[in-house]
Structure 1
Amino acid sequence: MADRANQSFWLGCALLCVTEMLCAVPTRVQAQTAVPPMQAALPAVQAPAFPIVSDARLAGDSRQTRFVLDLDKAVPFRAFVLGDPYRVVVDLPQVSFHLPTGSGTAGRGLIKAFRYGLVLPGGSRIVFDLTGPARIANASVLDSANGQPARLVLELEEVDQASFAQLIGTESRSQPRANVADAGATATALPPGTPPAIQAPAATTPAAPPGPPAPPDGRPVVVIDPGHGGIDNGTQTGEVPEKNLVLAFAQALRDRLEKTGKYRVVMTRDDDTFIPLGDRVRIAQKQSADLFVSIHADALPRGEGDAQGATIYTLSDKASDAEAERLAEDENRADAIGGVNLTEEPTDVADILIDLARRETRTFSNRFARLLMNDMKTAVHMHKRPLKSAGFRVLKAPDVPSVLVELGYVSNKSDMGNLISESWRSRTADAMARAVDSFLAKRIATAAGPRPETKTPARAKP
């Protein structure tokens, strides 16, 4: 009783203090605004502590083109050219892009368009699509001076194909250049070796002494792959890009599966980071995954009509229809959007063991796709052709049953309303979790003892 009385006394004091504070500073309370429901439902992806990019401009013509980037402080960078298609890549330390909506969609001179974003923790990237072969004539940074922001300046110059071929593999690093208004301004160049996008901070705490080994986890492993991320926004018809929509859904599905305690759930990305397609596949293989689910949201190009509903894709050498083929081509370009193709394809695909594993895995993938369709159609609207197939690179692990789920079309008003709805995400995640339960029920029932560290290519799946 005494404890309850004390709690009541202190609670009353706290409420009295809060009331006095509210009365004393009414203007501060009135100035606060609530976070819009759509923003609250989606994950925050920017860290305000990083250097801020506030503007970007293009100038010049088809022979010489200049790109200028405004920042709140000078940063080191490196720039290099790539072919097939013609591109220029600029790597920076991690920055926050606060550019106007639509920046990069319109080009000028030698630059058709450019994309920007986080390419992995600690590094940002800008990728320029070129109209033809070009070289980096100048790459420099200017410190802020006389009220003008710090600037990154990139100057491109038209060259012939032979000259361009000699440039591939070379790079330009930050070069200090005097500001017109401040001849003493300098910029720090990157140290040779590791580019800024893949530098890691030094460890600051000693490693803990090794303890007894943890008991093996025999639960099935489910890998959830939110598509796109970082520099790759995915499709976008409104204010919210696909990469944010699918990350919010993937996190809801992860939470729903982890709540059961029956699975070990692994995310290929849990923030706004660019992950190459090959790395997504390798994550699933390294984790000896029992199931791989890639989450996306489609969009029809303007002028191609309207489409609605969720679609489930499995891997096929031949696309089931023209739309599936178009979508697979778009998704498989993600590595090119990142600037450097890091995907390593298997070289000996004719090997008989891998071939047998592929066939068995495709059988299990198709089985899960049918289970998933049956559970999802009880909760959400499905596309008129809910099961399709195409050559998605992200589904090509030969030993992991894999599907790619297009949750809906961001180009459709009704589907977009669903994608930003927390209740719709919860309902759809529940339906997908039921399908996972059905698919892995046998695996759960027979799981005993430690999971093998390695598995043969033809190991049977549920």
Structure 2
Amino acid sequence: MARRANHFVLFSALVACAAALFCLTPAAVVAATAEPAASAAVPVAASFPTVSDARVAGDDKQTRLIVDFDQKVPLRAFALADPYRVVIDLPQINFRLPKGAGEDGRGLIKAFRYGLVMPGGSRIVLDLTGPVKIAKTEMLDPANGQPARLVIDLETIDRDAFVQALRTADSVAELRPTVAGAEATAGVPRGAPTPKVERDDPRPVVVLDPGHGGIDNGTQSADGVAEKTIVLDFALALRDRLVRQGKFRVVLTRDDDTFIPLNDRVKIAREQSAALFVSIHADALPRREGDAQGATIYTLSDKASDAEAQRLADAENKADAIGGVNLTEEPTDVADILIDLAQRETKTFSSRFAQQLMKDMKTATRMHKRPLKSAGFRVLKAPDVPSVLIELGYVSNKADLQHLLSEQWRNKTVGAVAQAIDSFLSRRLVSAGQPG
């Protein structure tokens, strides 16, 4: 394979040293087959519990969240800092809440979001105004014509008390009450299995990364079309196109509406010894910042190429906070040096692919006035995998949104991206086969 042939012994040693510090918990992954997925969404099983309503009451001293279920479920609740959040882990749930639920909070809860975080597991994340104590968590039986209910009471505390609570009793024991009549963690998933690596298949691996998913909607259009759905549809179509070509193995970081932490996306690419990692997104500008149009291709850089690139990177890098996961500590200074050395060659290949991608995409879709940019996206930080992030367009722009929802546009643009991947990897394979 071209990637392996191009790496020399010192480079491999450096990557191996950095890997232990760089890699995180495993995430779900789906290897492509010749058959397309039946649906872009996780099937809704009738047996899954259903949430029908959620409401917040109280003030800035004490606040209560009440969630209506059609049956009792086990749960686990805990708090996180910076930003302050309360996370409620649940088995897989059908969320059938009214439109706009969670957008407006009250008291200690600024807002809340909910969704699937992995097959078999859902999550509710409460965004808080400050540090809190989880005073009570109960799952109540249905009674007197009322449904089963989750009731969680929050009380304001100071920062020192909050930090101390996190440090004691298995880090968050005081903030994780058990559910009456059931063990709090029963039925709550602990993590997805490590994907199998096909060592006997010599074809280069292309990892496609549809952004966001599950609890993380990404950007949304004015009429509520979510970025996570747009980019998943595009990634599935691109996967199918590449599989039909037969030249590559194609792996998706997600093939359904599931939340995958940023660093797990990177780890999938590294565990699969990927020759290329392509993260797929769609941007949106806040109304006060005017209008913008067209696709943009990003590569990794410590310094953003402009203010808009920095804004986008900052927004995308908050995905793990949105999902409620603990953010990983940054590598040590030694690991930084090792990773920087390993990334030098990788950055060169990433830049070459970005140039090829721009050349092919501009034949199929409108490009941004500055189509090539760079910023510090965490999802592009694999030290040994050439990586780019594509912003297909702006859901905040009417013309772009019309394209993003068009099957005809999608097919044409998918073809251009597939052509760029083929051209780039074919050249690397030829180069790897030449005598040094």
Query: TM > 0.5 between the two?
Result: yes
Distance 1:337 1:158, change over 3 A: same
1:88 aligned onto 2:86: yes
1:114-129 alignment, distance < 5 Å: 114-129=112-127
Find the counterpart in structure 2 of residue 457 from structure 1. Answer: none
SS in structure 2 of the partner of residue 124 of structure 1? strand
- Larger CA deviation: 344-353 vs 420-429: 344-353
1:124-143 alignment, distance < 5 Å: 124-143=122-141
SS in structure 1 of the partner of residue 354 of structure 2? helix
SS in structure 1 of the partner of residue 289 of structure 2? coil
Find the counterpart in structure 2 of residue 197 from structure 1. Answer: 189
TM-score (normalizing by structure 1): 0.79
- Larger CA deviation: 339-348 vs 434-443: 339-348
Cα distance in 2 for partners of 1:329, 1:42 equals 31
Find the counterpart in structure 1 of residue 370 from structure 2. Answer: 385
Find the counterpart in structure 2 of residue 175 from structure 1. Answer: 179
Q: CA shift at 1:352, angstroms?
A: 5.9
Contact 2:118–2:260 under 8 Å retained in 1: yes
Question: Residue by residue, what CA displacement relative to the aligned partner does 1:329-349 show, whole Å, maximum 9, x if unpaired?
Answer: 010011111112254644355
1:345-356 alignment, distance < 5 Å: 345-348=330-333, 354-356=339-341
TM-score (normalizing by structure 2): 0.84
Cα distance in 2 for partners of 1:365, 1:446 equals 16
1:332-351 alignment, distance < 5 Å: 332-343=317-328, 345-348=330-333
Q: CA shift at 1:84, angstroms?
A: 1.2
Residue 376 of structure 1, aligned match among 326, 348, 361? 361
**Counterpart amino acid of residue 172 in structure 1:** R
Q: CA shift at 1:442, angstroms?
A: 2.6
Cα distance in 1 for partners of 2:199, 2:297 equals 36
1:45 aligned onto 2:39: no
Contact 2:321–2:327 under 8 Å retained in 1: no
1:232 aligned onto 2:236: no
Contact 1:124–1:197 under 8 Å retained in 2: no
Q: CA shift at 1:44, angstroms?
A: 2.9
Cα distance in 2 for partners of 1:191, 1:52 equals 19
Find the counterpart in structure 2 of residue 100 from structure 1. Answer: 98
Question: Residue by residue, what CA displacement relative to the aligned partner does 1:416-436 show, whole Å, maximum 9, x if unpaired?
Answer: 111111111111110001101
Contact 1:105–1:113 under 8 Å retained in 2: yes
Residue 149 of structure 2, aligned match among 143, 148, 151? 151
Greater relative contact order (Cα < 8 A, sep 6+): 2
Cα distance in 1 for partners of 2:410, 2:328 equals 31
Cα distance in 2 for partners of 1:270, 1:301 equals 29
Q: CA shift at 1:236, angstroms?
A: 1.1
**Counterpart amino acid of residue 415 in structure 1:** D
SS in structure 2 of the partner of residue 252 of structure 1? helix
- Larger CA deviation: 156-165 vs 290-299: 156-165
Cα distance in 2 for partners of 1:417, 1:311 equals 17
Find the counterpart in structure 2 of residue 223 from structure 1. Answer: 207
Residue 285 of structure 1, aligned match among 265, 270, 280? 270
1:63 aligned onto 2:61: yes
1:270-419 alignment, distance < 5 Å: 270-343=255-328, 345-348=330-333, 354-419=339-404
Cα distance in 2 for partners of 1:65, 1:282 equals 38
Distance 1:215 1:140, change over 3 A: closer
Question: Residue by residue, what CA displacement relative to the aligned partner does 1:365-406 show, whole Å, maximum 9, x if unpaired?
Answer: 111001000100001011111111000000001111000000
SS in structure 1 of the partner of residue 151 of structure 2? strand
Distance 1:303 1:199, change over 3 A: closer
Q: CA shift at 1:46, angstroms?
A: 4.7
**Counterpart amino acid of residue 206 in structure 2:** V
SS in structure 2 of the partner of residue 198 of structure 1? coil
**Counterpart amino acid of residue 286 in structure 1:** E
Contact 1:218–1:447 under 8 Å retained in 2: no
Structure 1, unmatched stretches of 5+, are: 1-39, 177-186, 202-213, 449-459
Cα distance in 2 for partners of 1:330, 1:282 equals 21
Find the counterpart in structure 1 of residue 247 from structure 2. Answer: 262
Contact 1:379–1:431 under 8 Å retained in 2: yes
Find the counterpart in structure 1 of residue 4 from structure 2. Answer: none
Q: CA shift at 1:129, angstroms?
A: 1.0
Cα distance in 2 for partners of 1:229, 1:325 equals 22
Contact 1:262–1:444 under 8 Å retained in 2: no
Cα distance in 1 for partners of 2:405, 2:211 equals 16
Q: State percent identity of aligned pairs.
A: 69
Cα distance in 1 for partners of 2:269, 2:355 equals 21
Cα distance in 2 for partners of 1:343, 1:375 equals 36
Cα distance in 1 for partners of 2:272, 2:300 equals 20
**Counterpart amino acid of residue 275 in structure 2:** D
Contact 1:313–1:389 under 8 Å retained in 2: yes
Cα distance in 2 for partners of 1:345, 1:319 equals 19
Contact 1:235–1:242 under 8 Å retained in 2: yes
Cα distance in 2 for partners of 1:200, 1:353 equals 29
Contact 1:225–1:250 under 8 Å retained in 2: yes
Q: CA shift at 1:42, angstroms?
A: 7.4
Q: CA shift at 1:215, angstroms?
A: 7.9
**Counterpart amino acid of residue 333 in structure 1:** K
Contact 1:135–1:157 under 8 Å retained in 2: yes
Question: Residue by residue, what CA displacement relative to the aligned partner does 1:272-298 show, whole Å, maximum 9, x if unpaired?
Answer: 111111111111111111100000000
Contact 2:295–2:368 under 8 Å retained in 1: yes
Distance 1:41 1:78, change over 3 A: closer
Cα distance in 2 for partners of 1:395, 1:165 equals 32
Distance 1:308 1:287, change over 3 A: same
Distance 1:349 1:300, change over 3 A: farther
Cα distance in 2 for partners of 1:139, 1:351 equals 42
